[in-house]
Amino acid sequence: MLDFLDKIPYTSLIVFTIIMLLAPFKPMPHVVEKFLILKNGTLHKPIDIFDLFFHLTPLAILMLKFGKSYFK
């Protein structure tokens, strides 16, 4: 089921994950901003929730790939 993960090289996935976690670079990365909103309990807008998941998706894929290769 997760065979597509084998086709993605670690280097490009790590670079893409870092870029997505830090984008936009100024004034504050979206992930940090959304986590602050989540911490304050005001993460209610659907666009903010989508944006958080959008920026965390490459990290989730990287963790799945690592977990798949680690627990073989």
Q: In this predicted model, what pLDDT tens digit does every residue of 28-49 receive, in sequence order?
A: 888 898 889 889 999 899 998 8
The number of domains in the chain is 1
Six-digit token pair at 16?
Answer: 């893409």
In this structure, what DSSP letter does residue 32 have? H
Distance from chain centroid for Cα 43: 17
Q: Which two tokens stand for residue 24?
A: 């936009």
Count of CA atoms in the C-beta half-sphere (13 A) of 64: 15
**Per-residue pLDDT tens digits for 13-33:** 999 999 999 988 888 888 898
Q: How many CA atoms lie within 13 A of 44 on its CB side?
A: 3
Q: Which pTM was predicted?
A: 0.84
Residue 43, phi-psi category: left (phi > 0), alpha (psi -120 to 50), beta (remainder): beta
Q: Which domain holds residue 40?
A: 3-16+25-70
